[in-house]
Structure 1
Amino acid sequence: MLQQNILNTSRDWEEIKADYDPESIKESKGYAIWKAIPYTPKHKRVIGRLVNALSKIPVAFTVAEKLRPTSYLDGLRGFAALLVYWHHHELWAHGWTKENSIFENGFGYDGKYYMAAFPGIRNFFTGGHYAVSTFFIISGYVLSLKPMSLVQAGELAKLGDNLASAFFRRWPRLYIPIIVVVLTYITLWHMAGMWINGMKRAESWSEEVVAFYREFKNFSFAFKEGGVPWLSYNSHLWSIPVEFRGSMAVYASQLALSRSSKAARLSCEAFLVFYFMFIADGWYCAMFCTGMLLCDLDLLANKGELPLFLACLEPAKDFIYYHLLALSLFLGGIPSEDLDVQNLQKSRGWYYLSWLKPQAVFDYKWFYLWLAATFLVASIPRIAWLKRFFETKFCQYLGRISFALYMVHGPVLWMLGDRIYAAVGWRTDEHLQHMPHWVDKLPLPKSGPLGLEVSFLVPHLVLLPLTLALAEAVTRWVDTPSVKFCSWLYHKTLGGSDPVLAKQARA
């Protein structure tokens, strides 16, 4: 009986086996998990990733979503920051071969004719000062946008709240990121024991920090007199104190003119520009006040309240602004190897223009760059295709990281870029003395147009992505938190007693 039951049970198992279909299991998704993944050679994987990345380039030049009316200014600021990056790399590498005079003088100067010095084209090689002037015009415009709209609406109580918040937050917003970036740079410099061209390292990290503090406290003082205008640890940041002083000029002007009539306000803004450029040597204040004036005029234009003589020019808008753009590109390439106007007169196309320089301006280039940046910022929103370019995802991304890009590109150039340039052939005796193990390790030909040599372009396959990645990191972890901290700090000073002021602080 027991044996029979066992046999009956075996028949049950046989029935289960009969329902089993190996082929159906193989075709199921579960079996696919256990299938071996075909091996792809490493070089094919790299090529695949490169092709995938290149396929996304056209997307980067499509117009970004959720644009604001002034998003094109963000894109312009970002593209200008990229020009500053390129400008400094061009002059750094070619400085070793004594070719900087070609970039910094006009086309045909001293019988030298290079594409990199040709009017208009030269801005893409050495357009750093053109870019900085554009920064200042944009800052004057953007800083004026909210206050000027309140002035035109007659909301003077809100204007006072807005200016109080902006004034309070401006210094820490500009300088906290600089402190963090420079201290990080100093720390890495000492940890690695690196030689930095043009810098003398202190005996210890603590001594270096003390030296930085002593220099920074003077560098960041708005009313500093005498001494060098830059920070030795990052000379590219010379424009930050200028940015702060220009901001103060804009805020003070808006408050002073807040009760004036429209005609009086516009006249006073124009006079401030004239005063700072033609009477006093305050070229940077002239740029900020020009941005403020352009903002005021644009806000009036949106409401159909432009002064009559400007409104009458509307039919000739295209003709005027295309010519202003062309003139901007020419003036933006002002030859400026030194401060001698006589050398400017020797540059082709600049003899008669040199006589326009105001007596008050010591460094003549800023007068022409003021005109160039003004014409550029005024023309872009009136030229549709150009405005769309600065509203693309590429330019908007650069605009988002522009401040961080401005801060980090110098340390990357000095710590890594100098070594890579030496490795591919851009070197001097100092490189042979201090880092001989880097010199000519991967020599590349200097063939190609000036400024676009093979040995100059190849290093940027490493330097540009690295610089952008660091700028992204600094934007996320330093710049954005510092902006939030400044708003939080201002809110704390209000004590939370007045909900209206607290709301303004968070704005």
Structure 2
Amino acid sequence: MNPAVDKPKESRWSPTSLVPQKVAGWFRGYTNPLGYSELKDHRHKEYDAQELQYPFLQRVTASKTLQRLLASIFSLILPSFYHRNSNQSSYKVTPTSWLDGLRGIACFIVFMYHYFYAYFETRGVAFEFNNKDSVNHYILQLPLIRIVHSGRSMVSIFFVISGFALSHKVVMLTRGAKPQSAVERSHAILSNLTSSVWRRHLRLFLPLIGTYLLVTVFVSAGWFETVPWGEKGWLTGNVEFRPARESSLWSQLASAAKEYYKVAGPVTLFRGWVYPDYISVYDSHLWTIPEEFHQSMLLFLVMTGLCHLKRWVRVYIFLPAIVVSTMCNGYWAMSLFIFGYFVAEIHAEVVAARESALEPKLPGGGVYSPIQGSEAGRRRRELSRTVFVTVAFLGGLYLCSFPETLPPEKSTTGFTTLSRSAPKRYGGGDACGFWMHTGAELLVFSIVFLPAVQDILCWKVFQYLGRISFALYLVHGTTNRSIGYALVHWGWRVTGASAMWADKAAPDQMGAGLLESSRVAVVLLVFLVNVPITIWMSDIFWRVFDLPSVKFVRWLESKLARAVN
């Protein structure tokens, strides 16, 4: 190190000095003609206590080893955005990170949904729903507004994004941006597909080890006992599954290991024959992981069969036909993944058109022509396109806010008519699912043509949520069932809201209203406490389990894959 050039800057640490510098500018979006950002691999460095990271440790101990150990502990427990030496410049603006922002928002909404559905049994009903006792006039149940707690439609968005992400590289290889022979291009596509198939199971299920370990520790410590196994406590909504508490930590670990093997093995590989509709008691939200694996394999098969076809045949005939037929026949998850492949094709053409100063037409025209004609004509075309995609965007939001409980016949929010128009395969009250899935497809598709929305999704706060989204999904069920349940029940006892469940005479109408207000206020306040705790735990989980899993799978593949001459 050249002391004249590379001398490190002096830094003083205080507990409050981290927040302003790191949080400032979080809501600033990136500006870019394409409205995108790309996330490179996040490489966490070892922090040297002798340099900038934690200089106060030199005053705590003279031992270099202990300083490094304490620095590592601080680096682990502090959220990743607090690390002073983290390489923030590695997050650049490129064509796909609006998807990360969308994934982050969707995952946070799922977290909210799973938190609140334990306390409000009417969360899924429509505005103006009449349950014979009262009419639902809660503003949060209005169309569009209710999307902020519509967790089911967010899962549909997850599946569309997964289909996009898994097919994006194949789409780019199929387009052949670089001069390649047909043999070279085919080899590149085959290599990508085989690598994706090989890595997919490990990528999905290795981080789940952390979830099972986390639940095991919480159950053994008694942190789930606010609502004992098999009971509801004072909860009026859905009570999530939880494992029974074993006699010892080792017994709990053995139970978790058996459950993990069942989920990662037979349930995932042979679910249709051996374990239909299996739900893990360790975390009921993990049902999406086997579904992700199944649909990923089907997507790889579809890409293998279609990638050699002419683009217009693949994009405008086969993919729409597969999407519509699978959705209408009840295979909604497959339809969402294949639709993600379709959007990846459209997205690649839109990006190419923008980069070459061309004006892309929407699917249906099939051709992307240069901007020609008068200025007035160009503006009319741009206005028509903007109106079309804006209507699609708002329509997607509206359908994503479809209530889970079918609305009554006299409902005025439009959902009743739609529920009667769903395909027959979505009978038995599942019409909401069909329209939620359709809304997710409309929403993601429209954002491809809305750079302003992409720029919002590239704000740092949404990008951060996108980075930790998988970890947040795997952690939030544990915090909701432990910290959430415990603090809410404690708050109800302190405020007196627990009198609603006491064996006493029913309070008068005014007293019942005050108790209900106290009950709701406690739930909301605890949510504000639960959010930073869950985000913090998810950040640690991301760095301890998720990122190392990605690196391990890549390393393992590099060691096992045969060399190609």
Normalised to the residue count of structure 1, the TM-score between the two structures is 0.77
Q: Secondary structure at the match of 1:75?
A: helix
Identity of aligned residues (%): 27
- Residue number in structure 2 paired with 1:173: 203
- Residue number in structure 2 paired with 1:82: 108
Which one of the candidate residues 285, 292, 299 is aligned to 2:341? 292
1:100 aligns with 2:121: yes
Q: Aligned equivalents of 2:328 and 2:157: distance in 1?
A: 19
Q: Aligned equivalents of 1:146 and 1:255: distance in 2?
A: 13
- Residue number in structure 1 paired with 2:454: 387
Report if aligned partners of 2:271, 2:277 keep a CA contact under 8 Å in 1.
Answer: no
**314-323 or 370-379, which deviates more:** 314-323
Report if aligned partners of 1:335, 1:344 keep a CA contact under 8 Å in 2.
Answer: no
1:216 aligns with 2:283: no
Deviation (angstroms), 1:393 = 0.5
**136-145 or 52-61, which deviates more:** 52-61
Report if aligned partners of 2:210, 2:541 keep a CA contact under 8 Å in 1.
Answer: no
1:148 aligns with 2:168: no
- Residue number in structure 2 paired with 1:247: 296
Distance 1:109 1:156, change over 3 A: same
- Residue number in structure 1 paired with 2:486: 419
1:428-439 alignment runs, 5 A limit: none
Q: Aligned equivalents of 2:211 and 2:524: distance in 1?
A: 27
1:318 aligns with 2:366: no
Q: Secondary structure at the match of 2:247?
A: coil
Larger helix proportion, structure 1 or 2?
A: 1
Q: Aligned equivalents of 2:246 and 2:314: distance in 1?
A: 52
Deviation (angstroms), 1:344 = 7.8
Distance 1:431 1:245, change over 3 A: farther
Which one of the candidate residues 271, 281, 286 is aligned to 2:321? 271
Q: Which has the larger radius of gyration?
A: 1
Q: Tell me which amino acid in the other structure corresponds to 1:290.
A: F
Q: Tell me which amino acid in the other structure corresponds to 1:138.
A: I
Report if aligned partners of 1:344, 1:354 keep a CA contact under 8 Å in 2.
Answer: no
- Residue number in structure 1 paired with 2:129: 109
Q: Tell me which amino acid in the other structure corresponds to 1:60.
A: W
Q: Aligned equivalents of 1:187 and 1:173: distance in 2?
A: 23
Q: Tell me which amino acid in the other structure corresponds to 1:129.
A: R
Q: Aligned equivalents of 1:308 and 1:463: distance in 2?
A: 47
Deviation (angstroms), 1:490 = 1.2
Spell out, residue by residue over 1:37-56, the C-alpha distance to the aligned partner (whole angstroms, 9 max, x if none).
Answer: xxxxxxxx99xx59x95797
- Residue number in structure 1 paired with 2:29: 63
1:206 aligns with 2:250: yes
Normalised to the residue count of structure 2, the TM-score between the two structures is 0.69
Distance 1:364 1:428, change over 3 A: farther
1:471 aligns with 2:532: no
**Structure 1: any 5+ residue segments left out of the alignment?**
1-44, 433-443, 500-507
- Residue number in structure 1 paired with 2:187: 157
Report if aligned partners of 1:446, 1:455 keep a CA contact under 8 Å in 2.
Answer: no
Q: How many residues align?
A: 427
- Residue number in structure 2 paired with 1:336: 404
Distance 1:163 1:314, change over 3 A: farther
Distance 1:243 1:489, change over 3 A: same
**391-400 or 57-66, which deviates more:** 57-66
Q: Aligned equivalents of 2:408 and 2:256: distance in 1?
A: 37
Q: Tell me which amino acid in the other structure corresponds to 1:59.
A: G
Report if aligned partners of 2:95, 2:351 keep a CA contact under 8 Å in 1.
Answer: no
Q: Tell me which amino acid in the other structure corresponds to 2:216.
A: I
Q: Aligned equivalents of 1:240 and 1:344: distance in 2?
A: 36
**193-202 or 262-271, which deviates more:** 193-202
Q: Tell me which amino acid in the other structure corresponds to 2:121.
A: N
Report if aligned partners of 1:140, 1:288 keep a CA contact under 8 Å in 2.
Answer: yes
Report if aligned partners of 1:446, 1:456 keep a CA contact under 8 Å in 2.
Answer: no
Deviation (angstroms), 1:194 = 4.8
Deviation (angstroms), 1:371 = 1.3
Q: Secondary structure at the match of 1:122?
A: helix
Deviation (angstroms), 1:184 = 2.6
- Residue number in structure 2 paired with 1:282: 331
User: Over the residues paired in the alignment, what is the CA RMSD in angstroms?
Assistant: 3.0
**Structure 2: any 5+ residue segments left out of the alignment?**
1-13, 31-90, 177-181, 230-241, 354-359, 369-380, 503-513
Report if aligned partners of 2:106, 2:157 keep a CA contact under 8 Å in 1.
Answer: yes
